[in-house]
């Protein structure tokens, strides 16, 4: 990984989508605090499910906060992607050497990568030529045990700081919700083909009008043993490298032949 | 494309991210009205830049509206992705044969595909096994001339209804902002590697506090002649097939070798 000067500590930007007060981001900061100069820029409120949303019609606020001992931290009124953009342009005024997002409270495996604010922040960093990793623990609880997640977050950051990787690297790392000693190790995987089957909950408000809550059942269509879902079911930490070139090259060839343009 | 019964008209779901009152969606409905049974479910307000955001903490509203002559239409308080989900689960109560999104006011070529609500609605449909197309005209004006865009939208829908394609097909179609007779035809392309260089505009509010507007300069790093940006610069309609498997398989192999897990 490129550092500005050989002897300088690497600059590590940390963000999330659960908001700057979530336990997950505090655990992430703790786990890598001594590996670089940490700067936190994170949303001032929960931003789960925001995907790659950016804030266009409304201005953004950015305030310094003293939430992490000895670590510069800012809360931002926007989305996780806004946080990365503001961090680079207005807080750091340079590209950090690495961007970390999370640790998310809840899984971001398989199709979740597309809805996840945690992962979209990481993808945004990679678009800006900043290698990045999103971390998610398969436990939604505020009292989740982050011991295993912290260990693997640190291990992955050490690996990335040691080896030189592409500046567009993005890793989607999910950690199973089991005690640290039961984690079987790490597995590099592909994204499982899975989806949510929608089932909106229909209710009536006090004025007699209908409204809907989004709910859904997770369905995994993918029986492959090389997927993130398989790895997590077998107590591995799943590591899926992610790309932002969304071109479907197989379909591209097929269309070129079929449409004869 | 699979139809429920051979003789039935195909059911075509239409949505957008500029909101149900935008001229673009009206032009899209007009261009394909006689090719199937059209149902519109679109946001009740502009939702540009919402990416793949879904609404989690807030319930959704859905109301029928009489905005399109002879066409069933509903406005939804959520994001473009929410619209597709609600359309399938609560409006149609079945999968439509095709989903169309747009016509967006402004381009969604290259990296814009990731931020675009128009394209995320189309991708959501494809996740749900509904072939889909997002259309965007390279003209932000409310008074934009949609003549060429309408012609090519219809042509592409006809091609898709004639040939059988994968149920996960997603096309990102951009139309150059030139008079119809100057359009050079259609080109199947890959997504150009480009990004926005952030330059937040900093201002002071009446209370003396800073705020920021997101702005940015578009930079195309990609000199390839097979990209959507190249095609549009040469007056072609660009057609990029899009995928939702975000796995970076090249990086996956590299990591497996380097990390020796």
Domain borders along chain B are: 11-192+223-244
Kindly give the interhelix angle for B23-32 and B147-162, rounded to the nearest 10 degrees.
Answer: 50
Q: Give the pLDDT band (50/70/90) at residue B260.
A: confident
Q: Which of B52, B246, B254 sits opposite A51 (nearest CB)?
A: B52
pLDDT mean over B231-249: 98
φ, ψ (nearest 5 deg) of residue A242: -115, 150
Question: Which A residues, 140 through 159, put their C-beta within 8 Å of a C-beta on chain B?
Answer: 159
| Interval A195-248: pLDDT, tens | 999 789 999 999 999 999 999 899 999 999 999 999 999 999 999 999 999 999
The predicted structure's pLDDT at residue B250? 95
Facing residue for B188 by CB, picked from A115, A187, A259: A259
- Per CATH, which fold does A11-192+223-259 belong to? Stationary-phase Survival Protein Sure Homolog; Chain: A, (3.40.1210)
Cβ of A252 under 8 Å from any chain B Cβ? yes
Q: What is the pLDDT of residue B1?
A: 46
Q: Using pLDDT thresholds of 50, 70 and 90, give the confidence band for residue A7.
A: low
Cβ–Cβ < 8 Å for B198, B216: yes
Q: Identify the band that residue A104 occupies on the pLDDT scale cut at 50, 70 and 90.
A: very high
Question: pTM to 2 decimals?
Answer: 0.94
Span B78-104, average pLDDT:
95
Fold of B11-192+223-244: Stationary-phase Survival Protein Sure Homolog; Chain: A, (3.40.1210)
Neighbours of A191 (CB within 10 A): 25
Contacts with A75 from chain B: Cβ below 8 Å: none
Q: Do A252 and B50 touch (CB under 8 A)?
A: no
Assign A105 to helix, strand or coil: strand
Q: Mapping DSSP to helix (H, G, I), strand (E, B) and coil, where does residue B178 land?
A: coil
- pLDDT tens digit string along B112-170? 999 999 999 999 999 999 999 999 999 998 899 999 999 999 999 999 999 877 899 99
Residue in this structure with the two tokens 């090259």, named with its chain if needed: A249
Closest chain A CA to residue B193: A245
Give the span between the Cα atoms of B191 and B114, in whole angstroms: 11
The whole-angstrom separation of Cα A86 and Cα A78 is 10
User: Does ipTM surpass 0.85 in this model?
Assistant: yes
Chain A residues with CB inside 8 Å of B166's CB?
251
Interchain CB distance below 8 Å, A209 and B61: yes
């Amino acid at each position: 990984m490129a550092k500005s000067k050989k002897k300088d500590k690497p600059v590590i930007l940390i963000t999330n989508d659960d908001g700057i007060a979530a336990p997950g981001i505090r655990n992430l900061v703790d786990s890598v605090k001594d590996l670089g100069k940490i700067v936190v820029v994170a949303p001032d409120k929960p931003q789960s499910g925001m995907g790659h949303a950016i804030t266009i019609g409304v201005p953004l606020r950015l305030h310094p906060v003293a939430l992490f001992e000895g670590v510069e931290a800012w809360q931002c009124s926007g989305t996780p992607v806004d946080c990365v953009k503001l961090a680079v342009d207005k807080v750091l005024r340079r590209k950090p050497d690495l961007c970390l997002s999370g640790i998310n409270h809840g899984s971001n495996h398989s199709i979740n990568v597309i809805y996840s604010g945690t992962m979209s922040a990481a993808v945004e960093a990679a678009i800006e030529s900043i290698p990045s990793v999103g971390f998610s623990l398969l436990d939604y609880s505020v009292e989740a045990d982050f011991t295993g997640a912290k260990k693997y977050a640190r291990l992955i950051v050490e690996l990335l700081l040691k080896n030189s990787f592409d500046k567009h690297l993005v890793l989607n790392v999910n950690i199973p919700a089991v005690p640290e000693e039961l984690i079987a190790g790490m597995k590099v995987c592909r994204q499982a083909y899975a989806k949510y089957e929608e089932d909106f909950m229909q209710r009536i408000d006090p004025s007699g009008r209908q409204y809907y809550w989004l709910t859904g059942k997770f369905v995994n269509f993918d029986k492959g043993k090389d997927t993130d879902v398989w790895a997590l079911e077998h107590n591995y930490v799943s590591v899926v490298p992610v790309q932002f070139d969304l071109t479907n090259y197989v379909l591209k060839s097929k269309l070129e032949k079929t449409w004869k343009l």
